[in-house]
Amino acid sequence: MREARIQDDFEPTPPETGGEPLTTEQAIANLRGDDTGLRYYAAWWLGRFRVSEPAAIEALLAALEDESDRTEDGGYPLRRNAARALGKLGNQQAVSALIRCLENSDYYLREAAAQALEMLGDPSCIPALLRLLSGGVESAVQIPGKPHLAEPYDAVLEALGTLGATEAIELIQPFVEHPIKRVQYAAARAMYQLTKDDKYGNRLVEALQGKELQLRRSALMDLGAIGYLPAAEAIAETLAENSIKIISLKGILEHTLETSTTEPLKLSEDAIRVMTLMDSLL
Amino acid sequence: MLLKMTTNQIHKLIEAVDEAYSAEGMLLAVKALSATQDPAVIPTLIKVLGYNNPGAAVAAVDGLISMGEPAVGPILESVDGYNYGARSWAVRVLAGIGDPRGLELLIAAAESDFALSVRRAAARGLGNLRWEKLPTPARAEAQNRTLNTLLQVCQDPEWVVRYAGVVGLEGLANAVKSEQPVWFNALKTQLEKISLTDNVIAVRSRSLWTLAKW
């Protein structure tokens, strides 16, 4: 199950209620109700508090078909929150509905669905994800008048990497040279996961020296997610908040420990090296 | 590196901080100040902690830590009037210097600061205290309070705070090993428990490492 993104889980403005904190029953009831604001918040809440009981899943799946909550330009805000929540709840029932969301006209819903499918880990979504890359880098351009590209490429590329879509290697490779850095990093991350070729890990290490903090943070999270051990020292020295560097190193530590599957854990030199770096950042 | 500077030279460097009008300019000015190692610059470095400039604050923290003891009193005096961000940097400075005069602040921060980055810095700092600076009667009591705080920290909901709690426990245990063998064994048992039961592998692994060192 993949690490939550740093930008996850920002609580939407709680709707005006009597001030009572939500319970599971209330959240599900709200989600089934008519009030758009309450429904939107409830969908977020169920994901945030990992409410995975069948009634919640059912209500969220129903919310994925909602037609009443629309933005001016045709987006589906409630569906987006429902998709995000379903990604966190680990219930494979949601997979086919989320795959259908990948064809929705709402870019942000496609993005949320790709991220959710990545978290759920079912490879049956791979063909649908690959379809979003068709047209290759040439089609991966900004939509006129919108702040986003034609497709949510970083989310799609990351998902393909996490899902082990080795059949996608040739399709993904060109995106490593996409004009937008964030897309390059997502492609490098996926290529490393799929090929284990150090040159992709090293690409991300170079990105740690980039001029923009937001991109350095992205690269840190990518390196932690793929567990690229050679990056450890460079991570510790990156110009960014210690909190993010620690999270990144934690990912590397976990990968290092997982490769030795003995119980109790055996501490390798590599694990000690990473923990030494983590200690220095506390 | 000790540069014995004239009062005038110090004053100019302090002005450079006040007059910096870019974030980068401030960072350079702060670094220059820290390099003097002159206690006269302490108030200015403390002031920098209160500006909204994380890069300069980090440099000021490093500078104050390298000044050591002379910075402790001024930091403690300045904490109450402070904005929250500055207080969290102050915790880092005290954690880095390890002077037991910072104990109260570190304990409070480790137990109840709402920011996990402050709790973890404080927890780490509690393992870094220079106990020999306290007279023996006060020492045991202070160590006992620290022990209790760190045990609590090892139950924090955030994994990184628990990780820092383990680091703190390691430091404390090493400090009391010969004087307080009963405590040492209790801490060892606690770490063994963490190494088996914490639900985050990084925390289990950090406990194991401590145990491996013993």
Range in A202-211, A255-264, B179-188 the model is least confident about: A255-264
In order of B16, B31, B70, B71, B145, the CA distances from B38 in angstroms are 16, 13, 10, 10, 34
Please give the average per-residue pLDDT across A107-113, as a whole number: 97
Classify residue B101 by its DSSP letter. G
How far away is chain A from the Cα of B152, in angstroms, using its nearest Cα?
18
Q: How many CB atoms lie within 10 A of CB A65?
A: 13
Does A68 fall in a domain? yes
The pLDDT value given to residue A181:
95
Give the residue among A177, A184, A182, A114 at the shortest CA–CA distance from A147: A182
Residues in chain B within 8 Å Cβ distance of A254:
201-202
The pLDDT value given to residue B2:
55
How far away is chain A from the Cα of B4, in angstroms, using its nearest Cα?
31
CB A31 within 8 A of CB A42: yes
Residues 188-207 of B with CB under 8 A from A: 195-196, 201-202, 204-206
Whats the size of chain B, residue-wise? Answer: 214
Give per-residue pLDDT as tens, B146-183. Answer: 999 999 999 999 999 999 999 999 999 999 998 889 99
Q: A93 with A170, same domain?
A: no
Q: A117 with A1, same domain?
A: yes
CB A162 within 8 A of CB A188: no
CATH number for the domain including A159? Answer: 1.25.10.10
Q: A33 with A99, same domain?
A: yes
Q: How many inter-chain contacts (A to B, CB under 8 Å) are there?
A: 50
Give Cβ neighbours of residue B42 (< 8 Å, ≥ 6 apart): B64, B67, B70, B71, B74
The yes-or-no verdict on residue A6 having pLDDT over 50 is no
Q: B75 with B107, same domain?
A: no
Q: A38 with A86, same domain?
A: yes
Q: A150 with A79, same domain?
A: no
The pLDDT value given to residue A21:
79
Residue B17, SS3 per DSSP: helix
In order of A128, A159, A224, B5, the CA distances from A132 in angstroms are 7, 12, 26, 65
Contact B208/A at CB under 8 A? yes
The pLDDT value given to residue A18:
55
Please give the average per-residue pLDDT across B74-90, as a whole number: 80
Range of the domain at B15: 1-97
Q: How many CB atoms lie within 10 A of CB A36?
A: 15
Q: B107 with B180, same domain?
A: yes
Model confidence pTM above 0.90: no
Contact B174/A at CB under 8 A? no
CATH number for the domain including B113? Answer: 1.25.40
Give the residue among B135, B112, B107 at the shortest CA–CA distance from B122: B107
Q: B79 with B110, same domain?
A: no
Kindly state the greatest CA–CA separation across chain B: 59
Contact A186/B at CB under 8 A? no
% of chain A at pLDDT higher than 90: 87
Residues in chain B within 8 Å Cβ distance of A261:
none
Q: B66 with B109, same domain?
A: no
Contact B117/A at CB under 8 A? yes
As a whole number of angstroms, the distance between CA B197 and CA B83 comes to: 38
**Inter-chain touch B121–A243, beta carbons under 8 Å:** no
Q: B114 with B192, same domain?
A: yes
Our count of domains for chain A comes to: 3
Please give the average per-residue pLDDT across A243-264, as a whole number: 86
Q: A189 with A215, same domain?
A: no
Q: B196 with B107, same domain?
A: yes
Q: B93 with B109, same domain?
A: no
**Inter-chain touch B202–A254, beta carbons under 8 Å:** yes
B118 to chain A: closest CA residue: A282
**Last residue within a domain, chosen from B80, B97, B114:** B97
User: Which of B54, B120, B205 is closest, CB to CB, to A275?
Assistant: B205
Q: B122 with B192, same domain?
A: yes
B210 to chain A: closest CA residue: A272
Does A14 fall in a domain? no
Does A179 fall in a domain? yes
Residues in chain A within 8 Å Cβ distance of B120:
282
Give the residue among A115, A127, A113 at the shortest CA–CA distance from A155: A115
Q: A86 with A116, same domain?
A: yes
Contact A254/B at CB under 8 A? yes
**Inter-chain touch A265–B208, beta carbons under 8 Å:** yes
**Last residue within a domain, chosen from A91, A121, A151:** A121
The yes-or-no verdict on residue B202 having pLDDT over 90 is yes
B58 to chain A: closest CA residue: A241
Please give the average per-residue pLDDT across B76-102, as a whole number: 86
**With DSSP H G I counted as helix, E B as strand and the rest as coil, what are the percentages for chain B, rounded to 5?**
80, 0, 20
Range of the domain at A178: 123-135+143-195
Q: B49 with B122, same domain?
A: no
Our count of domains for chain B comes to: 2
How far away is chain B from the Cα of A155, in angstroms, using its nearest Cα?
26
Give per-residue pLDDT as tens, B7-38. Answer: 888 888 888 888 877 778 888 889 998 888 88
Q: A79 with A67, same domain?
A: yes
Contact A257/B at CB under 8 A? yes
**Inter-chain touch A257–B201, beta carbons under 8 Å:** yes
- What's CA A153's distance to the chain center, in Å? 12
Per-residue H/E/C for chain A: CCCCCCCCCCCCCCCCCCCCCCCHHHHHHHHHCCCHHHHHHHHHHHHHCCCCCHHHHHHHHHHCCCCCCCCCCCCCHHHHHHHHHHHHCCCHHHHHHHHHHCCCCCHHHHHHHHHHHHHHCCHHHHHHHHHCCCCHHHHCCECCCCCCECCCHHHHHHHHHHCCCHHHHHHHHHHHHCCCHHHHHHHHHHHHHHHCCHHHHHHHHHHCCCCCHHHHHHHHHHHHHHCCHHHHHHHHHCCCCHHHHHHHHHHHHHHHHHCCCCCCCCCCHHHHHHHHHHHHHC
Give the residue among A270, A245, A236, A244 at the shortest CA–CA distance from A256: A270
The pLDDT value given to residue B22:
79
B201 to chain A: closest CA residue: A254
